[in-house]
Protein backbone atom coordinates (compact mmCIF):
# COMPACT_ATOMS: atom_id res chain seq x y z
CA UNK A 1 0.00 0.00 0.00
CA UNK A 2 1.41 3.40 -0.95
CA UNK A 3 2.15 5.79 1.86
CA UNK A 4 -0.24 8.72 2.08
CA UNK A 5 2.42 11.23 3.18
CA UNK A 6 5.95 11.97 2.00
CA UNK A 7 8.70 9.93 3.54
CA UNK A 8 10.46 12.84 5.21
CA UNK A 9 7.30 13.51 7.29
CA UNK A 10 6.76 9.93 8.39
CA UNK A 11 9.71 9.73 10.72
CA UNK A 12 8.82 12.82 12.83
CA UNK A 13 5.19 11.68 13.01
CA UNK A 14 6.24 8.17 13.94
CA UNK A 15 8.50 9.56 16.63
CA UNK A 16 5.67 11.75 17.93
CA UNK A 17 3.29 8.77 18.04
CA UNK A 18 5.84 6.81 20.04
CA UNK A 19 5.82 9.52 22.79
CA UNK A 20 3.95 8.80 25.98
CA UNK A 21 1.31 11.19 27.31
CA UNK A 22 3.80 12.76 29.74
CA UNK A 23 6.42 13.19 27.04
CA UNK A 24 3.88 14.82 24.75
CA UNK A 25 2.88 17.21 27.54
CA UNK A 26 6.50 18.19 28.20
CA UNK A 27 7.05 18.66 24.46
CA UNK A 28 3.98 20.88 24.14
CA UNK A 29 5.10 22.98 27.13
CA UNK A 30 8.56 23.35 25.61
CA UNK A 31 7.12 24.41 22.26
CA UNK A 32 4.84 26.95 24.00
CA UNK A 33 7.79 28.41 25.94
CA UNK A 34 9.82 28.72 22.75
CA UNK A 35 6.94 30.46 20.97
CA UNK A 36 6.36 32.89 23.85
CA UNK A 37 10.08 33.62 24.11
CA UNK A 38 10.27 34.30 20.38
CA UNK A 39 7.27 36.64 20.58
CA UNK A 40 8.73 38.50 23.60
CA UNK A 41 12.12 38.83 21.93
CA UNK A 42 10.52 40.09 18.74
CA UNK A 43 8.47 42.65 20.68
CA UNK A 44 11.55 43.84 22.57
CA UNK A 45 13.69 43.99 19.43
CA UNK A 46 11.11 45.95 17.47
CA UNK A 47 10.28 48.39 20.30
CA UNK A 48 11.84 51.82 19.68
CA UNK A 49 14.30 53.34 22.14
CA UNK A 50 12.69 56.23 24.05
CA UNK A 51 14.59 59.29 25.29
CA UNK A 52 13.41 62.38 27.23
CA UNK A 53 12.03 65.18 25.07
CA UNK A 54 11.47 67.62 27.97
CA UNK A 55 11.72 67.26 31.75
CA UNK A 56 10.26 69.27 34.61
CA UNK A 57 7.28 70.48 32.59
CA UNK A 58 4.23 72.14 34.05
CA UNK A 59 0.81 70.57 33.51
CA UNK A 60 -0.16 73.15 30.86
CA UNK A 61 3.05 72.75 28.84
CA UNK A 62 2.91 68.96 29.07
CA UNK A 63 -0.66 68.93 27.77
CA UNK A 64 0.21 71.22 24.85
CA UNK A 65 3.25 69.16 23.85
CA UNK A 66 1.28 65.89 24.09
CA UNK A 67 -1.40 67.33 21.80
CA UNK A 68 1.31 68.29 19.34
CA UNK A 69 2.75 64.75 19.41
CA UNK A 70 -0.70 63.24 18.85
CA UNK A 71 -1.27 65.52 15.90
CA UNK A 72 2.07 64.49 14.37
CA UNK A 73 1.39 60.79 15.07
CA UNK A 74 4.50 60.38 17.24
CA UNK A 75 4.51 57.73 19.95
CA UNK A 76 5.27 59.02 23.45
CA UNK A 77 5.47 57.95 27.06
CA UNK A 78 4.96 59.95 30.27
CA UNK A 79 7.03 59.58 33.42
CA UNK A 80 7.76 61.41 36.67
CA UNK A 81 4.09 62.18 37.19
CA UNK A 82 3.66 63.62 33.69
CA UNK A 83 6.50 66.13 34.08
CA UNK A 84 8.78 64.19 31.70
CA UNK A 85 7.83 63.24 28.12
CA UNK A 86 9.68 60.43 26.32
CA UNK A 87 9.66 60.01 22.55
CA UNK A 88 11.51 57.68 20.14
CA UNK A 89 15.16 58.62 19.88
CA UNK A 90 14.99 59.38 16.16
CA UNK A 91 12.15 61.90 16.75
CA UNK A 92 13.75 63.91 19.59
CA UNK A 93 15.42 66.71 17.65
CA UNK A 94 12.57 67.23 15.19
CA UNK A 95 10.03 67.52 17.98
CA UNK A 96 12.23 69.85 19.99
CA UNK A 97 12.55 72.18 17.02
CA UNK A 98 8.78 72.12 16.48
CA UNK A 99 8.15 72.81 20.16
CA UNK A 100 10.63 75.70 20.17
CA UNK A 101 8.96 77.17 17.09
CA UNK A 102 5.62 77.02 18.94
CA UNK A 103 7.12 78.71 22.03
CA UNK A 104 7.11 75.59 24.16
CA UNK A 105 7.74 75.07 26.96
CA UNK A 106 6.38 78.46 27.94
CA UNK A 107 6.34 78.07 31.72
CA UNK A 108 10.05 78.74 32.12
CA UNK A 109 11.81 80.64 34.85
CA UNK A 110 13.79 82.49 32.20
CA UNK A 111 17.02 83.15 34.07
CA UNK A 112 19.51 85.53 32.50
CA UNK A 113 17.77 85.09 29.15
CA UNK A 114 15.24 87.69 30.37
CA UNK A 115 17.94 90.32 30.02
CA UNK A 116 18.19 89.64 26.28
CA UNK A 117 14.73 91.10 25.66
CA UNK A 118 15.38 94.40 27.38
CA UNK A 119 15.44 97.45 25.14
CA UNK A 120 17.19 100.76 25.46
CA UNK A 121 13.96 102.45 26.51
CA UNK A 122 13.53 100.28 29.64
CA UNK A 123 13.22 102.26 32.82
CA UNK A 124 15.44 101.82 35.83
CA UNK A 125 12.59 100.10 37.67
CA UNK A 126 12.10 97.60 34.81
CA UNK A 127 15.80 96.87 34.74
CA UNK A 128 15.90 96.29 38.49
CA UNK A 129 12.86 94.00 38.48
CA UNK A 130 14.08 92.07 35.43
CA UNK A 131 17.51 91.56 36.96
CA UNK A 132 15.94 90.26 40.17
CA UNK A 133 13.72 87.88 38.18
CA UNK A 134 16.77 86.64 36.31
CA UNK A 135 18.58 85.90 39.58
CA UNK A 136 15.54 84.10 40.95
CA UNK A 137 15.22 81.97 37.80
CA UNK A 138 18.88 80.98 37.78
CA UNK A 139 18.81 80.05 41.48
CA UNK A 140 15.58 78.06 41.05
CA UNK A 141 17.04 76.13 38.11
CA UNK A 142 20.22 75.35 40.06
CA UNK A 143 18.37 74.22 43.20
CA UNK A 144 15.98 72.13 41.09
CA UNK A 145 18.95 70.14 39.78
CA UNK A 146 19.68 68.74 43.27
CA UNK A 147 18.86 65.09 43.98
CA UNK A 148 15.41 64.72 45.51
CA UNK A 149 14.18 68.17 44.40
CA UNK A 150 11.41 68.14 41.81
CA UNK A 151 10.72 71.87 41.59
CA UNK A 152 12.13 75.00 43.24
CA UNK A 153 11.08 78.63 43.44
CA UNK A 154 13.16 81.51 44.82
CA UNK A 155 11.99 84.95 45.96
CA UNK A 156 14.54 87.66 46.73
CA UNK A 157 14.04 90.78 48.86
CA UNK A 158 16.88 93.12 47.94
CA UNK A 159 16.64 96.62 49.51
CA UNK A 160 17.31 99.60 47.26
CA UNK A 161 20.46 101.65 47.68
CA UNK A 162 19.67 105.17 48.86
CA UNK A 163 21.57 108.01 50.53
CA UNK A 164 18.66 108.97 52.78
CA UNK A 165 19.20 106.19 55.32
CA UNK A 166 22.17 105.75 57.61
CA UNK A 167 21.84 101.96 57.90
CA UNK A 168 21.44 99.60 54.99
CA UNK A 169 19.17 96.61 55.45
CA UNK A 170 20.47 93.18 54.59
CA UNK A 171 18.88 91.27 51.68
CA UNK A 172 16.80 88.20 52.45
CA UNK A 173 15.61 85.24 50.41
CA UNK A 174 12.89 82.61 50.65
CA UNK A 175 13.24 79.28 48.85
CA UNK A 176 10.33 76.93 48.17
CA UNK A 177 11.23 73.36 47.24
CA UNK A 178 8.99 70.52 46.13
CA UNK A 179 10.59 67.15 46.70
CA UNK A 180 10.14 64.06 44.58
CA UNK A 181 7.67 61.39 45.62
CA UNK A 182 8.95 59.58 48.70
CA UNK A 183 12.07 61.76 49.01
CA UNK A 184 13.04 64.13 51.81
CA UNK A 185 15.88 66.62 52.21
CA UNK A 186 18.44 66.08 54.96
CA UNK A 187 20.23 68.81 56.89
CA UNK A 188 23.25 68.75 54.57
CA UNK A 189 21.09 69.36 51.49
CA UNK A 190 19.19 72.18 53.21
CA UNK A 191 22.50 73.70 54.29
CA UNK A 192 23.71 73.49 50.68
CA UNK A 193 20.59 75.32 49.46
CA UNK A 194 21.06 78.03 52.09
CA UNK A 195 24.73 78.64 51.28
CA UNK A 196 24.14 78.49 47.53
CA UNK A 197 21.45 81.17 47.80
CA UNK A 198 23.34 83.43 50.20
CA UNK A 199 26.57 83.24 48.21
CA UNK A 200 24.76 84.27 45.01
CA UNK A 201 23.49 87.60 46.40
CA UNK A 202 25.82 90.40 47.41
CA UNK A 203 25.62 91.15 51.14
CA UNK A 204 23.36 88.22 52.03
CA UNK A 205 24.26 86.06 55.02
CA UNK A 206 23.14 82.40 55.41
CA UNK A 207 20.95 83.26 58.41
CA UNK A 208 18.77 85.42 56.15
CA UNK A 209 17.66 82.53 53.93
CA UNK A 210 14.41 80.68 54.64
CA UNK A 211 13.72 77.26 53.13
CA UNK A 212 10.22 75.72 53.10
CA UNK A 213 9.07 72.46 51.54
CA UNK A 214 5.75 71.62 49.87
CA UNK A 215 4.32 70.25 53.15
CA UNK A 216 4.75 73.62 54.83
CA UNK A 217 7.65 72.44 56.98
CA UNK A 218 10.23 75.11 57.78
CA UNK A 219 13.59 73.57 56.93
CA UNK A 220 15.56 76.76 57.62
CA UNK A 221 14.20 79.86 59.33
CA UNK A 222 15.57 83.39 59.11
CA UNK A 223 17.82 83.92 62.11
CA UNK A 224 17.38 80.33 63.32
CA UNK A 225 19.47 78.47 60.78
CA UNK A 226 18.92 75.02 59.37
CA UNK A 227 18.31 73.21 62.63
CA UNK A 228 14.68 74.35 62.84
CA UNK A 229 12.67 75.25 65.91
CA UNK A 230 14.08 75.99 69.35
CA UNK A 231 12.69 72.74 70.79
CA UNK A 232 14.40 70.71 68.10
CA UNK A 233 17.65 72.58 68.61
CA UNK A 234 17.47 72.08 72.37
CA UNK A 235 16.76 68.35 72.08
CA UNK A 236 19.54 67.84 69.56
CA UNK A 237 22.04 69.75 71.69
CA UNK A 238 21.07 67.91 74.90
CA UNK A 239 21.33 64.53 73.19
CA UNK A 240 24.78 65.39 71.81
CA UNK A 241 26.14 66.47 75.19
CA UNK A 242 24.55 63.53 77.01
CA UNK A 243 25.99 61.04 74.53
CA UNK A 244 29.49 62.48 74.89
CA UNK A 245 29.42 62.43 78.69
CA UNK A 246 27.79 58.99 78.83
CA UNK A 247 30.41 57.50 76.53
CA UNK A 248 33.19 58.86 78.71
CA UNK A 249 31.62 57.59 81.95
CA UNK A 250 31.02 54.13 80.49
CA UNK A 251 34.76 53.84 79.89
CA UNK A 252 35.50 55.04 83.43
CA UNK A 253 32.93 53.27 85.62
CA UNK A 254 31.67 50.64 83.19
CA UNK A 255 28.47 50.39 81.18
CA UNK A 256 25.30 50.67 83.23
CA UNK A 257 27.02 52.17 86.29
CA UNK A 258 26.33 55.84 85.48
CA UNK A 259 23.44 57.86 84.13
CA UNK A 260 23.55 61.38 82.67
CA UNK A 261 20.81 63.99 82.28
CA UNK A 262 21.39 67.28 80.43
CA UNK A 263 19.06 70.28 80.48
CA UNK A 264 19.76 73.26 78.22
CA UNK A 265 17.96 76.58 78.03
CA UNK A 266 18.09 78.12 74.55
CA UNK A 267 17.08 81.54 73.36
CA UNK A 268 14.50 81.41 70.59
CA UNK A 269 14.90 85.09 69.66
CA UNK A 270 17.43 86.56 67.28
CA UNK A 271 19.05 89.94 67.89
CA UNK A 272 21.85 92.23 66.72
CA UNK A 273 24.31 93.79 69.18
CA UNK A 274 26.70 96.69 68.48
CA UNK A 275 29.45 97.60 70.97
CA UNK A 276 32.09 100.36 70.89
CA UNK A 277 35.17 100.15 73.13
CA UNK A 278 37.72 102.94 73.70
CA UNK A 279 41.22 102.29 75.11
CA UNK A 280 44.38 104.38 75.54
CA UNK A 281 47.22 103.26 73.28
CA UNK A 282 50.74 102.76 74.59
CA UNK A 283 52.92 105.96 74.52
CA UNK A 284 49.95 108.34 74.26
CA UNK A 285 50.52 109.30 70.60
CA UNK A 286 49.29 112.79 69.64
CA UNK A 287 47.06 113.22 66.63
CA UNK A 288 47.17 117.05 66.63
CA UNK A 289 48.58 119.77 68.96
CA UNK A 290 48.16 123.59 68.91
CA UNK A 291 50.17 126.02 71.13
CA UNK A 292 49.53 129.81 71.44
CA UNK A 293 52.09 132.02 73.32
CA UNK A 294 51.78 135.78 74.15
CA UNK A 295 54.50 137.95 75.77
CA UNK A 296 54.60 141.68 76.65
CA UNK A 297 57.43 143.79 78.15
CA UNK A 298 57.48 147.50 79.13
CA UNK A 299 57.67 150.12 81.96
CA UNK A 300 54.71 150.58 84.19
CA UNK A 301 52.43 153.60 83.61
CA UNK A 302 49.16 154.97 84.53
CA UNK A 303 47.43 152.70 82.20
CA UNK A 304 49.26 149.72 83.49
CA UNK A 305 47.66 147.55 86.06
CA UNK A 306 45.17 144.78 86.40
CA UNK A 307 41.61 144.65 85.23
CA UNK A 308 39.00 145.28 87.80
CA UNK A 309 35.27 144.96 87.75
CA UNK A 310 33.61 145.70 84.44
CA UNK A 311 36.96 145.45 82.69
CA UNK A 312 38.12 148.76 84.22
CA UNK A 313 41.83 148.97 84.72
CA UNK A 314 42.96 149.35 88.30
CA UNK A 315 46.43 150.75 88.92
CA UNK A 316 48.69 148.43 90.83
CA UNK A 317 50.27 151.36 92.67
CA UNK A 318 53.54 151.06 90.84
CA UNK A 319 54.23 147.55 91.95
CA UNK A 320 54.33 146.00 88.40
CA UNK A 321 56.96 146.51 85.76
CA UNK A 322 54.51 146.00 82.83
CA UNK A 323 55.78 142.51 81.74
CA UNK A 324 53.04 140.05 80.51
CA UNK A 325 53.38 136.34 79.46
CA UNK A 326 50.51 134.06 78.23
CA UNK A 327 50.64 130.50 76.78
CA UNK A 328 47.75 128.27 75.57
CA UNK A 329 48.07 124.66 74.29
CA UNK A 330 45.49 122.32 72.67
CA UNK A 331 46.40 118.62 72.26
CA UNK A 332 44.32 115.82 70.67
CA UNK A 333 45.62 112.47 71.82
CA UNK A 334 44.93 109.25 69.84
CA UNK A 335 42.71 106.59 71.36
CA UNK A 336 41.84 103.02 70.30
CA UNK A 337 38.27 102.58 69.19
CA UNK A 338 36.78 99.11 68.63
CA UNK A 339 33.32 98.74 67.13
CA UNK A 340 31.85 95.24 67.35
CA UNK A 341 28.65 94.25 65.61
CA UNK A 342 27.27 90.80 66.33
CA UNK A 343 24.14 89.02 65.17
CA UNK A 344 22.80 86.67 67.82
CA UNK A 345 20.83 83.92 66.09
CA UNK A 346 18.03 82.00 67.71
CA UNK A 347 19.18 78.87 69.49
CA UNK A 348 21.97 80.42 71.53
CA UNK A 349 22.69 78.59 74.79
CA UNK A 350 21.71 80.68 77.78
CA UNK A 351 22.32 78.11 80.50
CA UNK A 352 22.81 74.36 80.84
CA UNK A 353 22.96 71.91 83.70
CA UNK A 354 24.44 68.42 83.76
CA UNK A 355 23.45 65.87 86.39
CA UNK A 356 25.43 62.66 86.81
CA UNK A 357 24.57 59.74 89.09
CA UNK A 358 27.18 56.99 89.66
CA UNK A 359 26.52 53.62 91.27
CA UNK A 360 28.15 53.38 94.66
CA UNK A 361 29.29 49.81 93.97
CA UNK A 362 31.32 50.96 90.98
CA UNK A 363 32.60 54.23 92.48
CA UNK A 364 34.62 52.79 95.35
CA UNK A 365 37.98 53.99 94.03
CA UNK A 366 36.76 57.06 92.16
CA UNK A 367 37.23 60.71 93.06
CA UNK A 368 34.08 62.75 92.71
CA UNK A 369 36.15 65.88 92.10
CA UNK A 370 37.99 64.24 89.21
CA UNK A 371 34.75 62.99 87.69
CA UNK A 372 33.23 66.46 88.04
CA UNK A 373 36.20 68.01 86.28
CA UNK A 374 35.93 65.48 83.45
CA UNK A 375 32.19 66.12 83.04
CA UNK A 376 32.77 69.88 83.10
CA UNK A 377 35.29 69.66 80.28
CA UNK A 378 33.30 67.14 78.23
CA UNK A 379 30.04 69.13 78.44
CA UNK A 380 31.64 72.53 77.75
CA UNK A 381 30.43 74.06 81.00
CA UNK A 382 30.72 77.86 81.23
CA UNK A 383 30.50 79.04 84.84
CA UNK A 384 30.23 82.69 83.79
CA UNK A 385 27.06 81.79 81.91
CA UNK A 386 25.62 80.10 84.98
CA UNK A 387 26.17 76.47 83.97
CA UNK A 388 26.23 73.84 86.70
CA UNK A 389 27.48 70.27 87.06
CA UNK A 390 26.24 67.90 89.75
CA UNK A 391 27.90 64.52 90.35
CA UNK A 392 26.48 62.23 93.03
CA UNK A 393 27.45 58.72 94.12
CA UNK A 394 24.31 56.76 94.91
CA UNK A 395 23.27 53.16 95.37
CA UNK A 396 21.40 52.08 92.28
CA UNK A 397 18.15 50.16 92.63
CA UNK A 398 18.79 46.59 91.47
CA UNK A 399 15.25 45.38 92.11
CA UNK A 400 14.34 45.44 88.45
CA UNK A 401 17.70 44.14 87.22
CA UNK A 402 16.82 40.49 87.79
CA UNK A 403 13.43 40.95 86.16
CA UNK A 404 15.05 42.74 83.25
CA UNK A 405 17.57 39.92 82.87
CA UNK A 406 14.77 37.35 82.98
CA UNK A 407 12.80 39.35 80.43
CA UNK A 408 15.82 39.53 78.14
CA UNK A 409 16.42 35.80 78.55
CA UNK A 410 12.75 35.08 77.82
CA UNK A 411 12.88 37.32 74.77
CA UNK A 412 16.01 35.54 73.54
CA UNK A 413 14.39 32.15 74.13
CA UNK A 414 11.24 33.24 72.31
CA UNK A 415 13.29 34.55 69.39
CA UNK A 416 15.28 31.30 69.29
CA UNK A 417 12.09 29.22 69.40
CA UNK A 418 10.60 31.34 66.64
CA UNK A 419 13.70 30.82 64.48
CA UNK A 420 13.56 27.07 65.13
CA UNK A 421 9.85 26.99 64.27
CA UNK A 422 10.48 28.89 61.06
CA UNK A 423 13.35 26.52 60.21
CA UNK A 424 11.17 23.48 60.95
CA UNK A 425 8.34 24.94 58.87
CA UNK A 426 10.75 25.51 55.99
CA UNK A 427 12.04 21.94 56.28
CA UNK A 428 8.49 20.55 56.33
CA UNK A 429 7.52 22.59 53.29
CA UNK A 430 10.67 21.52 51.45
CA UNK A 431 10.08 17.87 52.40
CA UNK A 432 6.46 18.12 51.23
CA UNK A 433 7.54 19.60 47.92
CA UNK A 434 10.18 16.89 47.47
CA UNK A 435 7.63 14.19 48.39
CA UNK A 436 5.11 15.54 45.89
CA UNK A 437 7.79 15.61 43.19
CA UNK A 438 8.80 12.01 44.01
CA UNK A 439 5.18 10.86 43.87
CA UNK A 440 4.70 12.58 40.52
CA UNK A 441 7.88 10.99 39.18
CA UNK A 442 6.85 7.55 40.43
CA UNK A 443 3.38 7.84 38.92
CA UNK A 444 4.89 9.11 35.68
CA UNK A 445 7.37 6.21 35.60
CA UNK A 446 4.68 3.61 36.30
CA UNK A 447 2.42 5.10 33.67
CA UNK A 448 5.21 5.21 31.11
CA UNK A 449 6.12 1.60 31.81
CA UNK A 450 2.48 0.52 31.57
CA UNK A 451 2.08 2.37 28.26
CA UNK A 452 5.19 0.77 26.84
CA UNK A 453 3.75 -2.73 27.36
CA UNK A 454 2.15 -4.41 24.32
CA UNK A 455 -0.33 -7.27 24.48
CA UNK A 456 0.72 -10.29 22.42
CA UNK A 457 -1.53 -12.77 20.74
CA UNK A 458 -0.06 -16.23 20.57
CA UNK A 459 -1.94 -16.81 17.37
CA UNK A 460 -0.11 -13.92 15.69
CA UNK A 461 3.19 -15.21 17.04
CA UNK A 462 2.47 -18.61 15.54
CA UNK A 463 1.46 -17.01 12.25
CA UNK A 464 4.80 -15.21 12.11
CA UNK A 465 6.85 -18.28 13.20
CA UNK A 466 5.08 -21.54 12.19
CA UNK A 467 7.73 -23.63 13.81
CA UNK A 468 6.49 -22.51 17.23
CA UNK A 469 3.30 -24.59 16.94
CA UNK A 470 2.52 -27.58 19.07
CA UNK A 471 4.98 -28.89 21.57
CA UNK A 472 7.74 -26.54 20.36
CA UNK A 473 5.75 -23.58 21.59
CA UNK A 474 5.31 -25.21 24.95
CA UNK A 475 9.06 -25.38 25.39
CA UNK A 476 9.71 -21.63 24.81
CA UNK A 477 9.21 -19.35 27.82
CA UNK A 478 7.84 -15.79 27.56
CA UNK A 479 7.27 -13.08 30.22
CA UNK A 480 3.87 -12.57 31.66
CA UNK A 481 2.31 -9.59 29.88
CA UNK A 482 -1.03 -7.88 29.52
CA UNK A 483 -4.19 -9.79 28.55
CA UNK A 484 -4.48 -11.14 25.02
CA UNK A 485 -5.29 -8.62 22.28
CA UNK A 486 -7.73 -9.21 19.51
CA UNK A 487 -6.20 -10.76 16.37
CA UNK A 488 -4.75 -8.18 14.06
CA UNK A 489 -6.82 -7.23 11.04
CA UNK A 490 -3.97 -5.41 9.31
CA UNK A 491 -4.19 -6.41 5.62
CA UNK A 492 -0.78 -4.96 4.85
CA UNK A 493 1.07 -7.42 7.04
CA UNK A 494 3.42 -9.94 5.53
CA UNK A 495 2.13 -13.25 4.12
CA UNK A 496 1.40 -15.74 6.84
CA UNK A 497 1.37 -19.52 6.85
CA UNK A 498 -2.06 -21.05 7.43
CA UNK A 499 -2.39 -22.84 10.74
CA UNK A 500 -4.85 -25.35 12.07
CA UNK A 501 -7.50 -23.55 14.11
CA UNK A 502 -7.75 -24.63 17.73
CA UNK A 503 -10.80 -24.98 19.76
CA UNK A 504 -10.70 -22.43 22.58
CA UNK A 505 -11.14 -23.78 26.04
CA UNK A 506 -11.59 -22.09 29.33
CA UNK A 507 -7.83 -22.09 30.05
CA UNK A 508 -6.59 -20.85 26.68
CA UNK A 509 -5.37 -17.51 28.01
CA UNK A 510 -3.50 -19.10 30.90
CA UNK A 511 -1.99 -21.72 28.62
CA UNK A 512 -0.85 -19.15 26.09
CA UNK A 513 0.74 -17.03 28.81
CA UNK A 514 2.55 -20.08 30.14
CA UNK A 515 3.84 -20.94 26.68
CA UNK A 516 5.11 -17.38 26.11
CA UNK A 517 6.74 -17.38 29.53
CA UNK A 518 8.49 -20.67 28.83
CA UNK A 519 9.75 -19.45 25.46
CA UNK A 520 11.11 -16.22 27.02
CA UNK A 521 12.94 -18.08 29.75
CA UNK A 522 14.51 -20.56 27.31
CA UNK A 523 15.75 -18.09 24.70
CA UNK A 524 15.15 -14.45 25.64
CA UNK A 525 17.08 -13.01 22.69
CA UNK A 526 15.04 -14.86 20.09
CA UNK A 527 11.86 -13.93 21.89
CA UNK A 528 12.89 -10.30 21.76
CA UNK A 529 13.57 -10.56 18.04
CA UNK A 530 10.17 -12.15 17.46
CA UNK A 531 8.42 -9.44 19.42
CA UNK A 532 10.36 -6.69 17.64
CA UNK A 533 9.49 -8.10 14.26
CA UNK A 534 5.84 -8.42 15.17
CA UNK A 535 5.72 -4.80 16.42
CA UNK A 536 7.36 -3.54 13.23
CA UNK A 537 4.79 -5.39 11.16
CA UNK A 538 1.96 -3.87 13.18
CA UNK A 539 3.06 -0.24 12.58
CA UNK A 540 0.33 1.75 10.79
CA UNK A 541 1.01 3.12 7.34
The strand pair at 172-179 and 209-213 is best described as parallel
Whole-Å CA distances, 222 to 71, 201, 238, 347 = 50, 16, 23, 12
* DSSP code, position 201: S
Whole-Å CA distances, 525 to 415, 514, 517, 522 = 67, 18, 13, 9
Taking 50 as the pLDDT cut, the residues of the chain under it are: 1-5, 301-304, 458, 460-461, 463-465, 467-500, 504-506, 541
The strand pair at 313-314 and 348-359 is best described as unpaired
- The SS3 assignment for 210 reads strand
* Angle (CA) 235 241 247, round 5°: 125
* pLDDT at residue 508, rounded to an integer: 67
- For 368-379, the DSSP string reads HHHHHHHHHHHH
* pLDDT at residue 10, rounded to an integer: 62
The neighbouring-strand residues paired with 155 are: 174
Distance (Å, whole) CA 360 – CA 394: 5
Whole-Å CA distances, 33 to 25, 36, 44, 52, 441 = 12, 5, 16, 34, 22
Distance (Å, whole) CA 360 – CA 462: 110
- The SS3 assignment for 461 reads helix
The neighbouring-strand residues paired with 209 are: 173
Distance (Å, whole) CA 126 – CA 90: 43
* pLDDT at residue 316, rounded to an integer: 54
Residues 6+ apart with CB under 8 A from 417: none
Q: How far apart, in Å, do the first and last CA atoms of the chain sit?
A: 8
* DSSP code, position 224: T
Of the CA atoms within 13 Å of residue 231, those in its CB half-sphere come to 0
Are 468 and 523 spatial neighbours (Cβ–Cβ below 8 Å)? no
Of 538, 415, 526, 519, nearest to 476 by C-alpha is: 519
* pLDDT at residue 468, rounded to an integer: 45
Are 219 and 179 spatial neighbours (Cβ–Cβ below 8 Å)? no
Q: Cβ–Cβ contacts within 10 Å for residue 498, how many? A: 7
- For 32-90, the DSSP string reads HHHHHHHHHHHHHHHSPPEEEEE-S--HHHHHHHHHHHHHHT---EEEGGGTEEEEEGG
The neighbouring-strand residues paired with 325 are: 295
* pLDDT at residue 260, rounded to an integer: 93
Distance (Å, whole) CA 97 – CA 54: 12
The neighbouring-strand residues paired with 353 are: 263, 388
Are 83 and 150 spatial neighbours (Cβ–Cβ below 8 Å)? yes
Of 259, 179, 267, 190, nearest to 231 by C-alpha is: 267
Amino acid sequence: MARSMPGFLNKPLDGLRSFTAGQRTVALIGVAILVLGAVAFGTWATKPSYTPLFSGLSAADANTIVEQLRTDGVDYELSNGGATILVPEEQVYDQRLKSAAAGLPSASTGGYSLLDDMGMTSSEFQQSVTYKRALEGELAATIGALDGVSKASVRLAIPEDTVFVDEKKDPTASVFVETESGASLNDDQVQAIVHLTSASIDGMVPTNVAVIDSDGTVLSAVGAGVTGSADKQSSKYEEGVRSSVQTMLDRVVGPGNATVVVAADMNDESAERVEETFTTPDGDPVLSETTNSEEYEGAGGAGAGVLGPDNIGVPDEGKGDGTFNSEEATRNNAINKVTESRIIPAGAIERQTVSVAIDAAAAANLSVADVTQLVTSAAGIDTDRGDEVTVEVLAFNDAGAAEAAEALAAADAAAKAKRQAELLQTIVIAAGVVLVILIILIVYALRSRRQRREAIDLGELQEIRPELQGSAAMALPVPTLAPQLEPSTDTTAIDVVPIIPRTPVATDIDRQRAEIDAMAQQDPSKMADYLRGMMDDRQPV
